[in-house]
Amino acid sequence: MYKIGVAGDNGAIAKELRQFLPRVPDASIDTADAGEWDVLVLNGGVGHETGSLSAPAVVLNSDEKNLAGLLDPSSIPLLTITYGFNSKASITASSVRDGELCVCVQRSFTTPSGKRRERQEFTVETRNPAATLAAVSAALTMDADFT
């Protein structure tokens, strides 16, 4: 079972992530400020001290500055995936229109379970593109299939 932590979220990412949970068998969301997670979605640093967060896999908003400093330096993640609306993010949006988000996986990666994720593009419905991009990035890290 995957335990997903969401930090720096006003509830929007967790709400979007629940929409994709059926694609991830045995997953649960934990929006608590601290815990032991398999995957941590780090969207903002509100309420967290430097070096206070850790998880084996981290999904990091690359549009936010200095989020990496919130991670516990003694607990290096096995996998760090960046998401955002900039060209350097591992997972980004190639377009947003009419309630649809075209998600682009720009760099291949291997999930914690060993599944290989190749570069790809696919479309999902959205009401909140930023939260949807974060949720899709986390779901991909947990082996969800969108093709």
Range of the domain at 39: 2-141
User: What global pTM score does this model have?
Assistant: 0.85
Residue 13 lies in a domain: yes
CATH number of the domain that residue 96 is part of: 3.40.1190.10
Residue 147 lies in a domain: no
Asked if residues 67 and 7 have their Cβ atoms less than 8 Å apart, the reply is: no
**pLDDT of 84-108, one tens digit each?**
999 989 999 999 999 999 999 999 9
Asked if residues 2 and 35 have their Cβ atoms less than 8 Å apart, the reply is: no
**pLDDT of 32-62, one tens digit each?**
555 677 888 877 655 555 445 667 888 888 8
Angle, in degrees to the nearest 10, between helices 129-141 and 12-20: 50
Report the domain count for the chain: 1
Q: Which residue has the tokens 């941590």?
A: 40
